[in-house]
Amino acid sequence: MNEIDPQNWQRVKEIFQGALERKGSERESFLEQECGDQTALRSEVESLLRSYEVAGSFMESPAVAQAADTLAPKLNPGQRVKHYQIVNLIGEGGMGEVYLATDTILGRRVALKVLPEFVSKDPDRLRRFTQEARAASRLSHPNVCVVHEIGETDDGRPFIAMEYVEGMTLRQRMKNQGMKLGDVLDIGIQIADALTAAHEAGIVHRDIKPENIVIRPEGYVKVLDFGLAKLTERHKGAMHVTMSTLLFDSSPGTVIGTAAYMSPEQARGVAVDERTDIWGLGVVLYEMASGYPPFTGETATDVVVAIVEREQPPISRHVEGVPPELERIVKKALRKDKNERYQIVKELAIDLRSLRKDLEMNSMLDRSVAPATGSEYARASTGRDKIVETDELKAAQTTIHEPVRSNSRPWLAVAAAVVIAAIGFGVYKLLTRSEPKGPVPFERFDVTKLTTNGISLLAGMSPDGKYVTYVTSEGGKSTLWLRQVAINSNVQLIPPREGRYLGVAFSPDGSFIYFGFAGSDRNDAGQVYKLPTLGIGAVPTRIDLPDGLPSISHDKKRMAFIRYDRANQRDYLVVANADGSGEQIVATRNWPERLALDLLTKVRWTAGDKSLLLPTVNSAPSSSNGISSNYTVAIFEKNLVSGAEQTIPLNLQEFDDVGRVTVLPDGNGIIMLAKAYGASFVQVWQLFRDGSIRSLTNDLSDYRELSLDADASSFVTVQAQVVAKVWMLPKGETKPVAITSGTSRYYDLFAAPDAKIVYASDASGSADIFEIASVGGSEARQLTSEGRRNYAPAVSPDNRYLAFHSNRAGVFQIWRTERDGTLPKQLTFGSSESTWPSFSPDGKWIVFQHFEPGEPFSIWRVPVEGGTPQRITEGVSIRPTISPDGKLLAFWYNDQQGNSSWKLKVVQFEGGATFNVFDVPPPVEVNWDSPLHWSSDGRYLTYVDHRGGFDNIWGQPIEGGEPRQLTHFEEGKILSFDWMKDGSLVASRGVIMSDVVLISDATQ
């Protein structure tokens, strides 16, 4: 450690920076002149200069990239854990992630809880947990969540496959709705029943809290995670505090976690038995009834102190009208001394039941006790697990014509109703809202592709549904079109011109088309113009459109629109007279809550013009449920007569990206574009007031527009796909032939000796290695399926082995398998990454690039059969490739000197002597994804250059001279390429195909 002298520092800095700009003798004399005889100063500067020379890529890749694995979900949709296939992430927290998954053997859906690696490295403990969880499952009690399997993922994390329970956690239930006395008792009784069964079998739960209790839509309560606490307790002798407590405990800004539900004996770290669960139930009852946990504090320590020492305030301190009997029951469950508590949970259940019976006689069950705890309280909540109402399993396979209707129940809409489902007890009182259900819009629908040109970007539909306006774009020029739907006629409204359209829409009466247009300069924010719909040949006029498009009331007297206050990031809902006078702001929302995501958002007038309906979108993470959620979508209803407003949240499913949110005319739901959390593609979704959610589309493309006609009988959207194909250009020919037909993303092409093309594709979520025949258009064959991310395949010259880099063991390392992907063998180890393998032509070595912290990327080699890697290069060097004759090694090279430009370096494979170094002319951008290959005759080093505006392959003659353009493509992007032995080229080239699609409701 160097102590820094502040005065010296400034001086060192100046000289260091000055020296860096100079080289060789110039630098030498600069140092001489600046430092003179101050040897200490000079040696400090020189030491820093030396450090700079060797620092290489040190800190050059941002921490976000490095932390990606830490921060992002670990399993992707489609990925497998044993025979479970991940559908999506439904919750996560300190105790790992929970996924909805398909059991591919039994064809049922399961909740897959994947625990953190660090939870248990103790096989004994894991075994005890397994025993207990299995024992609990064998109870087959209706209130106990069934555990199907306990196992370990390939990377060594324990997982639990359990019954997938649809519904919401008690935490969410308390937050979203007020609790009626009936609810409190009913839920409490069912928990008590579950515990009774468990305790009789000798199983203690140890971690009863609202997050571990799920309430199904029809009212069943399921208690989750029996025995799990056993896995997470700390070692004997220490406090019996669960791991999640520790996680929450030290998390800044989060008030306490499981600490609030600990029993005094758990807090003290003494032996725990069934009576700890009785305490836990007491806490849950207290919280359900009062809306507050009984023991609180600023920090976890304070809470623990309260639990051990303080008497909880009576429930009546928080709410009125609590029956004294409930106070007594809760108080008895919350005795500090476990010998004074209920001794068996059955007694508690009996007391709750008789209380309910008494109250029923007096019709007191409908009495509201705790109000919805709402967001304010939610901050203190500890909800980590989350069960989401999700689509039926078949969602994943649904075709576009059969949207999936989730069967969730009107949870969010029944705040006024009491749901009592007395399981295993005589009383049934089910007061759900009557549901006069008309046909659901787009229950069935027809799909018509309006364009097939692949270059249609934006689309809008006229209110009468007769016209569609859309934009095509080609070669930097954009064109505005009008299509008459019924007769399939297309008219060019504005001929092709330089620039880009920012959006298109019809005016509310359909007589005008509005569009935003900006020049080709990326900094041009653009202007709004209008054009008469049927005034073909008319000149667009520029208009000022500061607000969203207005909606006219049914009586035509008023209009409503959204105004955005940019300075304050605030949205206003504005009502005005039809002539624009008498403006009045009727509602306001602050970012991150918004009344409109864009200026196309429609405000709807209800029949009689009493209320306005519009969507609100909240893009902030809801810390309440512990999920870093993305977008919460709601219907906002403003009664213009009474002034009352209501926000009806619609989604429990998390969305990564949301757009074009539109309230359906009946006000019963919305339709929107959204990307489900962890999914790869934006789809069309419908969300209803009763809480059901479904995706209308379900395919491997992104949807980009959503414009409905006035009565929502049809809408247009734009379907966009990255259509990457693998092409082959036979030697001597000029016309490439596609050898794949898919819409996949093909990366890292490698032409194998058997003339197969091996590649990596991550279109399905995980990244795997595939192969396809170079002729004949056969099906692709998947070679890896171990999950995680597998990239950069290479095949040995004798066609025996496949090598690639994979992070299946944590860090990207070089793996080798048999040619068919079997018998994986890890060739490189350690905590630093080794990537981009390439076989030497004699089949003895695999060269690869390696990144060691604090060192530049360097190239190493390892024997194919395994052994100690040897370093080959100094200086930043990436993407090694060996010449066909096995003599030369080429790679991208950066000497980190001066302006640090990339070079192509060729060295002798044996000995490492430099053979040649070439400058790489701009605009070639070198990064990890820059393929570098020898031509099959070994005369050129080939790479992708965008010179001339199109991606093409260029070759640098290795004997020297100017690079030569080898292909003459005039479209598309080259994702990857390689040369076959006979000199044919294979390349993965992609374009975005984007077309307008009309979806019409066929329900009626």
Partner 1 sequence: MASQANITELLSGYARGDKEALDQLMPIVYDELRRQAARYLRREQAGHTLQTTALIHEAYVRLVDQRNVQWQNRAHFFGIAAQLMRRILVDHARTKKRVKRGGSDVRVSLGDATVAVKGQDLDVVALDEALERLARIDEQQSRVVELRFFSGLTVEETAEVMGISKATVKRDWSMAKAWLHRELSE
Nearer of residues 462 and 618 to partner 1, judged by Cβ: 618
Least separation, in Å, of the C-beta of 409 and partner 1?
Answer: 26
| Strands 790-795 and 876-882, sheet pairing | unpaired
- The reply to whether 805 sits near partner 1 by the rule CB under 8 A is no
Q: Which of 762, 895, 978, 1001 binds partner 1 (CB under 8 A)?
A: 762
Identify residues 337-356 at the interface with partner 1 (CB under 8 A): none
Least Å distance, CB 680 to partner 1, is 7
**Closest approach of partner 1 to the CB of residue 784, in Å:** 17
Site for partner 1 in 487-526 (CB under 8 A): 502-505, 514-516, 525-526
Nearest-approach distance from CB 610 to partner 1, in angstroms: 27
Cis preceding linkage at 592, omega within 30: yes
Burial category of 400 from C-beta neighbours within 10 Å (exposed 0-12, middle 13-18, buried 19 and up): middle
Dihedral sign for Cα 96, 100, 102, 103, please: positive
The answer to whether 726 and 986 are in contact (CB under 8 A) is: yes
Cα separation, 932 vs 835, whole angstroms: 14
Quick one: 2 or 362, whose CB is closer to partner 1?
2
Residue 96 sits in the site that holds partner 1 (CB under 8 A): yes
Distance of alpha carbon 274 from alpha carbon 241, whole angstroms? 16
597 binds partner 1 (CB under 8 A): yes
* Cβ distance to partner 1 smaller for residue 568 or 778: 568
Of residues 329 and 693, the one with the C-beta less far from partner 1: 693
| Window 662 to 691, contacts with partner 1 (CB under 8 A) | 673-675, 678, 680, 682
Label residue 322 exposed, middle or buried (CB < 10 Å: 0-12, 13-18, 19+).
buried
Burial of 125 per CB tally in 10 Å (0-12, 13-18, 19+): middle
User: What track of x and - describes contact with partner 1 for positions 448 through 467 (by CB under 8 A)?
Assistant: ---------xx---------
Cα separation, 183 vs 977, whole angstroms = 63
DSSP code string of 214-248: EE-TTS-EEE--TTHHHHH---TTS----HHHHHH
Of 478, 622, 719, 828, the one binding partner 1 (CB under 8 A) is 622
Contact 980, 751 (CB under 8 A): yes
CB of 71 to partner 1, least distance (A): 4
Closest distance of CB 353 from partner 1, Å: 37
Tell me if 9 contacts partner 1 by CB under 8 A: yes
Q: Is the dihedral of CA 695, 699, 703, 707 positive or negative?
A: negative
Q: How far is the CB of 886 from partner 1 (least distance, A)?
A: 30
DSSP structure class, residue 64: H
Q: State the minimum distance, in angstroms, from the CB of residue 746 to partner 1.
A: 12
State yes or no: residue 251 binds partner 1 (CB under 8 A): yes
- Nearest residue (CB) to partner 1, 155 versus 347: 155
Secondary structure class of 172 (helix, strand, coil): helix
Does 660 bind partner 1 (CB under 8 A)? Our answer is: yes
Question: 770 and 782 in contact (C-beta within 8 Å)?
Answer: yes
Instruction: Report if residue 830 touches partner 1, rule: CB under 8 A.
Output: yes
Window 205-234: residues binding partner 1 (CB under 8 A): 234
Q: Is 363 in the site for partner 1 (CB under 8 A)?
A: no
Structure tokens, 24 = 């060789």
Selected range binding partner 1 among 61-69, 185-193, 214-222, 335-343, rule: CB under 8 A: 61-69
DSSP 154: T
Among 143, 618, 707, 967, binds partner 1 (CB under 8 A): 618
Q: Exposed, middle or buried, 889 (CB in 10 Å: 0-12/13-18/19+)?
A: buried
DSSP string across 331-362: HHHT-SSTTTS-SSHHHHHHHHHHHHHHHHHT
Pick the binder of partner 1 from 543, 585, 620, 738 (CB under 8 A): 620
74 belongs to the binding site for partner 1 (CB under 8 A):
yes
In a 13 Å sphere around the CA of 949, the CA atoms on its Cβ side amount to 4
Beta strands in 807-949 (DSSP E): 813-818, 825-826, 834-839, 845-850, 858-863, 870-871, 876-882, 888-894, 903-908, 914-919, 933-934, 940-945
**Which residue's CB is nearer to partner 1, number 50 or number 394?**
50
Sole binder of partner 1 in the list 659, 837, 955, 990 (CB under 8 A): 659
Q: Is residue 699 at the binding interface for partner 1, with CB under 8 A as the rule? A: no
Is residue 94 a contact residue for partner 1 (CB under 8 A)? yes
Task: Give the residue, chosen from 39, 72, 123, 361, that forms a contact with partner 1 under the rule CB under 8 A.
Answer: 72
Of 57-65, 284-292, 639-647, 771-779: span binding partner 1 (CB under 8 A): 57-65
- The catalytic residue among 207, 351, 895, 995 is 207
Q: b/e string for 47-61 if b means 16 or more Cβ within 10 A? A: ebeeeeeeebbeeee
Residues 965-1004 close enough to bind partner 1 by CB under 8 A = none
Q: Which of 29, 33, 40, 54 binds partner 1 (CB under 8 A)?
A: 54
Stretch that binds partner 1, among 373-381, 438-446, 862-870, 961-969 (CB under 8 A): 373-381
Count of chain residues binding partner 1 (CB under 8 A): 124
For residue 376, the minimal CB distance to partner 1 (Å) is 7
Give the integer Cα–Cα distance in Å for 935 and 585.
68
Q: Which stretch binds partner 1 (CB under 8 A): 64-72, 170-178, 337-345, 966-974?
A: 64-72
Q: Which of 78, 87, 92, 352 binds partner 1 (CB under 8 A)?
A: 92
Q: Does 51 bind partner 1 (CB under 8 A)?
A: yes
Determine, following the binding rule CB under 8 A, whether residue 652 of this chain makes contact with partner 1.
no
The token pair that represents 226 in the structure block = 């029996």
Check binding of 49 to partner 1 (CB under 8 A). Answer: yes
CB of 666 to partner 1, least distance (A): 25
CB 253 within 8 A of CB 227: no
Verify binding: residue 539, partner 1, rule CB under 8 A. Answer: no
Whether 837 and 849 have beta carbons less than 8 Å apart is answered as: no
Minimal distance, residue 641 CB to partner 1, in Å: 26
User: Quick one: which segment of 86-94, 173-181, 820-828, 914-922 binds partner 1 (CB under 8 A)?
Assistant: 86-94
587 binds partner 1 per the rule CB under 8 A: no
Q: How far is the CB of 66 from partner 1 (least distance, A)?
A: 5
Instruction: Restricting to residues 106-125, name those near partner 1 by CB under 8 A.
Output: 116-118
Scan residues 928-957 and list those touching partner 1 (CB under 8 A). none
Which tokens is 49 given? Answer: 């200069």
| Per-state percent for the chain, helix, strand, coil, to nearest 5 | 20, 35, 45
We find the least distance from the C-beta atom of residue 104 to partner 1, in angstroms, to be 23
Active site residue 842: no
Closest CA to 263 of 241, 244, 243: 241
**What is the separation of C-alpha 686 from the centre of its chain, rounded to a whole number of angstroms?**
19
By CB under 8 A, what part of segment 400-439 binds partner 1?
A: none
- Map the footprint of partner 1 across residues 712-741, applying CB under 8 A: none
564 contributes a contact to partner 1 by CB under 8 A? yes
Distance in angstroms (rounded) separating the CA atoms of residues 717 and 732: 43
**Quick check: 801 binds partner 1 (CB under 8 A)?**
no
What count of residues does the chain have? 1004
Q: Does 658 bind partner 1 (CB under 8 A)?
A: yes
Residue 278 or residue 650: which is nearer to partner 1 going by CB?
650
Spatial distance between the Cα atoms of 821 and 802, rounded to a whole number of angstroms: 7
243 binds partner 1 (CB under 8 A): yes
3-state SS record for 764-805: CCCEEEEEEECCCCCCCEECCCCCCEEEEEEECCCCCEEEEE
Active site residues per annotation = 207
